[in-house]
């Protein structure tokens, strides 16, 4: 099974949150990438939800189209929730690391 870039990013987020050593530059890059992933997934969810509204409003829409879009939403939703959660945890971890770095510099 081939890993997607999304999956690889989520794995890197989990590793840093689990206290894998990292640099400030890596934290910034990872935060930007995670934010981009969350924004992309949010936009995809919004697009799918809008498409479902269109399909539901059209009596000629096929059940196959509706089912396909529902499947897409159900696939995206857990990824989006996990991405948001990991981004929040990463931000907390970044604050902890930056505080520790500052304390070492002043001590």
70, exposed or middle or buried, with CB in 10 Å at 0-12, 13-18, 19+? middle
2 phi and psi angles, rounded to 5 deg: -85, 135
Does pLDDT of 15 surpass 70?
yes
* Band (2; pLDDT cuts 50, 70, 90): very low
Does pLDDT of 5 surpass 70?
no
Predicted TM-score (pTM) of the model is: 0.83
Q: How many CB atoms lie within 10 A of CB 34?
A: 23
Q: 33-46, pLDDT tens digit by residue?
A: 999 999 999 999 99
Domain ranges of the chain: 30-106
């Amino acid at each position: 099974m081939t890993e997607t870039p999304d999956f690889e990013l989520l794995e890197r987020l989990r590793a840093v949150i689990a206290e894998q050593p990292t640099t400030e530059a890596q934290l910034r890059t990872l935060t930007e990438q995670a934010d981009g992933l969350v924004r992309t997934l949010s936009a995809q969810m919004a697009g799918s939800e809008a498409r479902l509204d269109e399909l539901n409003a059209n009596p000629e829409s096929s059940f196959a189209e509706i089912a396909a879009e529902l499947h897409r939403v159900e696939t995206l939703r857990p990824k989006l929730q996990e991405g948001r959660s990991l981004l929040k945890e990463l931000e907390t971890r970044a604050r902890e690391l930056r505080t520790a770095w500052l304390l070492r510099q002043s001590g």
